[in-house]
Amino acid sequence: MNITWNAQGYTQDFSFVHQYGEDVLGLLTAAPGSLVVDVGCGNGALTEKLAQRGYRTLGLDASPEMLESARALHPDLTFRKADALTFTLPEPAGALFSNAVFHWIDADRQPQLLANLARNLRPGGELVCEFGGHGCAERVHAALERAFAVRGLTYPRVFYFPTIGEYAPLLEAAGLRVTHAFLFDRPTPQQGPDGLRAWIDMFVRAPFAGMDAALREAIIADAMEQTRGELLRPDGTWIVDYVRIRLRAVKG
């Protein structure tokens, strides 16, 4: 995963991530009592929702900051530091659940990710996940790309946003049969009058690594001005043009 998280800010100002993720839980069919692993559990909010459904849960995350937050917020649940590409479970899971994680993993590592997920599922176990799909936040990323370019800089596209047609074959190659696949727009309101700036601060960190603070602020201000007409509502709420891909696949 190519980001170091501000766990406190994530929990305080970006609760929409796990709130929207609650809809994804509806695809789970594993029986109560099954081991369901939350891959990329973040602050543990959805791990708790899984436990409330009667599952035995384990939350995995690569971020020490997020795990510290998860353990503080949910002391009765179990969380473990682990890499999604290499983790090994003590027993095969009945289901693996993941929300807003896979788009942080580079395209060339997706086959390794899916092979490892399949390896940790029991036969008939399911993978249920949602992450950024093709075109996610494209207006924001395109504006940042232009703001970088006019200053002689290259904006690196560090996110992986596939189509269903691109992703389903990867699942099948890993031995996972796709039963549900949706790609849909989900315009997402942000908090406060500087909501877009806060979103960029939280989620678009790698392209600004090592950059002078004044230059960074100028680029963000430029991108906000470019997108004001499309993404700023009359009531002053900023919208980010999310696109999500939601999937369920079963291990054969």
Please give the Cα distance from 188 to 16 (Å, whole number): 8
| Segment among 4-13, 119-128, 176-185 with least mean pLDDT | 4-13
Range with the poorest average pLDDT among 167-176, 193-202, 224-233: 193-202
Angle made by CA atoms 197, 48, 24, in degrees to the nearest 5: 65
The residues spanned by each domain of the chain are: 7-137+158-190+242-251
CATH number of 7-137+158-190+242-251: 3.40.50.150
- pLDDT tens digits, residue range 93-107? 999 999 999 999 999
Query: Distance between CA atoms of 48 and 38, rounded to whole angstroms?
Result: 10
DSSP 142-208: HHHHHHHHTTT-----------HHHHHHHHHHTTEEEEEEEEEEEEEE-SSTTHHHHHHHHH--GGG
Q: Which of 144, 37, 141 is nearest to 97 (CA)?
A: 37
Nearest CA among 25, 58, 52 for reference residue 40: 58
pTM of the full structure? 0.90
